[in-house]
């Protein structure tokens, strides 16, 4: 190898090293990684610990391999007594067989311990929530309390909740980076996982398995309340909203029941019992529309009703064109659904 080739190899090597370090740093600071590494519950905390141990080991091993590589490239070549060759053989046995074997066994043991430990929470779950994934939204049911909502999961802070997970169509994956690891949702099997948040707050969840055109817009929120607040939320949800008293909202209810909305959506306490789309009984209290697509404001809701395909092409809701007066009445009605 001549001088020029050697220096160009060195250039390529240092560029690759810089790139690897850059990619590693990028992963650490990227939004997704940062949220999983900023745990807000015991399960995510255990997973984050595992991640940091693996990351630290990778950094040490990477530095060791780079040092051996540098030694190979820039070390002395002459070896009259065969010492370098003996050292090389030892290095291959220790660094190439013994150390990787121990590291892999150690990590496997730690990983298995965490996985088994995470199967069950430390205390008995205080509620069960059934979550069914659809292309591309989340049906959320509280079977012990007989009501359903969508794209929002309310839980008590500091207490575990059991989630039963099922898919109505393709494989999706349930993931709340700050609270738990991922869990696939299968059409032919009801899976189980538990959630616990240390503090009251709102935590974003995202489908983590590519499930079609709008996979990215398949989000949900986990809202953790103080336990007493959660109990009263459960209670409130069991009573459907009363029929509107206001004339405009009353006309809006007729629009809702007569213009096709009720074929796909449920509003408990009315004749609307469609099961194709999300249950809308508490729509006005939700923070977002279309599984994280839009903020739940009057304007966004109007745009969504008229043509949701503009915001989420391929979703099952067809455009629902209607005279402006009907739309205003309908909005007035939907605002009463809390
Ligand atoms: Cu559902 Cu990706």
First-last CA distance in the chain:
76
Pairing between β-strand 201-207 and β-strand 219-225 as defined by DSSP bridges: antiparallel
Pairing between β-strand 137-142 and β-strand 191-195 as defined by DSSP bridges: unpaired
pLDDT of 30 > 90? The answer is no
Ligand 1 center to residue 206 CA distance, Å? 8
pLDDT of 15 > 60? The answer is yes
Ligand 1 center to residue 170 CA distance, Å? 8
Instruction: Over range 251-261, report the average pLDDT.
Output: 93
Cβ-in-10-Å burial (0-12, 13-18, 19+) of 321 comes to exposed
Ligand 1 pocket: which residues have CB below 6 Å?
A: 133, 136, 172, 207, 209-211, 215, 218
Atom of ligand 1 nearest to the CA of 208: 2
Residue nearest to atom 1 of ligand 1 (CA): 172
Catalogue the E-assigned strands of the chain.
Answer: 128-134, 137-142, 147-150, 152-156, 161-167, 172-175, 183-185, 191-195, 201-207, 219-225, 288-289, 294-295
Using CA atoms, how far residue 285 sits from 230, 262, 281, in Å, is: 15, 19, 9
Ligand 1 center to residue 207 CA distance, Å? 4
177-230 pLDDT, tens per residue? 999 999 999 999 999 999 999 999 999 999 999 999 999 999 999 999 999 999
Encode burial over 196-212: b for 16+ CB neighbours within 10 A, e otherwise: bbbebeebbbbbbbebe
Output the six-digit token pair for 216: 């990215």
What predicted TM-score, i.e. pTM, was given to this entire model? 0.84
Ligand 1 center to residue 284 CA distance, Å? 25
* C-alpha–C-alpha distance, residues 140 and 151, integer Å: 7
pLDDT of 95 > 90? The answer is no
pLDDT (0 to 100) of residue 29 = 52
pLDDT of 22 > 80? The answer is no
Ligand 1 center to residue 217 CA distance, Å? 8
Q: CB neighbours of 100 closer than 8 A, spacing ≥ 6?
A: none
Output the six-digit token pair for 252: 């809006």
Ligand 1 center to residue 286 CA distance, Å? 21
**Bridge partner list, 193:** 163
Output the six-digit token pair for 1: 């190898």
Output the six-digit token pair for 98: 């013994």
Atom of ligand 1 nearest to the CA of 210: 2
Atom of ligand 1 nearest to the CA of 209: 2
Output the six-digit token pair for 320: 């629902």
Atom of ligand 1 nearest to the CA of 135: 1
Q: What percent of the chain has pLDDT over 70?
A: 90
Three-state SS at 172: strand
């Amino acid at each position: 190898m001549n001088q020029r080739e050697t220096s160009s190899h060195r250039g390529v090597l240092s560029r690759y090293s810089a790139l690897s370090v850059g990619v590693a740093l990028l992963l650490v600071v990227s939004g997704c990684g940062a949220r999983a590494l900023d745990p807000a519950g015991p399960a995510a905390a255990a997973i984050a610990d595992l991640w940091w141990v693996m990351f630290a080991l990778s950094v040490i091993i990477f530095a060791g391999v780079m040092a051996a590589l540098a030694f190979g490239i820039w070390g002395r070549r002459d070896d009259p007594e065969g010492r370098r060759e003996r050292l090389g053989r030892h290095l291959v046995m220790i660094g190439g067989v013994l150390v990787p074997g121990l590291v892999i066994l150690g990590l496997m043991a730690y990983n298995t311990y965490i996985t088994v430990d995470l199967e069950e929470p430390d205390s008995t779950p205080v509620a069960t929530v059934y979550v069914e994934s659809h292309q591309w939204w989340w049906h959320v049911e509280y079977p012990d309390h007989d009501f359903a909502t969508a794209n929002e999961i309310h839980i008590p802070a500091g207490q575990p909740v059991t989630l039963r997970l099922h898919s109505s169509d393709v494989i999706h994956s349930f993931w709340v980076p700050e609270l738990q690891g991922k869990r696939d949702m299968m059409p032919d099997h009801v899976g189980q996982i538990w959630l616990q948040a240390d503090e009251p707050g709102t935590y974003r969840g995202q489908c983590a398995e590519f499930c079609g055109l709008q996979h990215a817009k398949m989000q949900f929120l986990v809202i953790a309340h103080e336990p007493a607040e959660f109990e009263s939320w459960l209670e409130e949800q069991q009573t459907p909203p009363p029929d509107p008293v206001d004339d405009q909202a009353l006309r809006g209810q007729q629009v809702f029941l007569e213009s096709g909305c009720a074929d796909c959506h449920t509003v408990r306490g009315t004749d609307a019992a469609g099961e194709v789309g999300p249950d809308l009984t508490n729509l006005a209290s939700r923070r977002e529309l279309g599984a994280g697509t839009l903020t739940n404001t009057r304007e966004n809701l109007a745009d969504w009703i008229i043509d949701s395909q503009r915001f989420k092409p391929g979703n099952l809701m067809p455009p629902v064109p209607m005279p402006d007066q009907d739309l205003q009445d309908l909005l007035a009605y939907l605002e009463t659904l809390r």
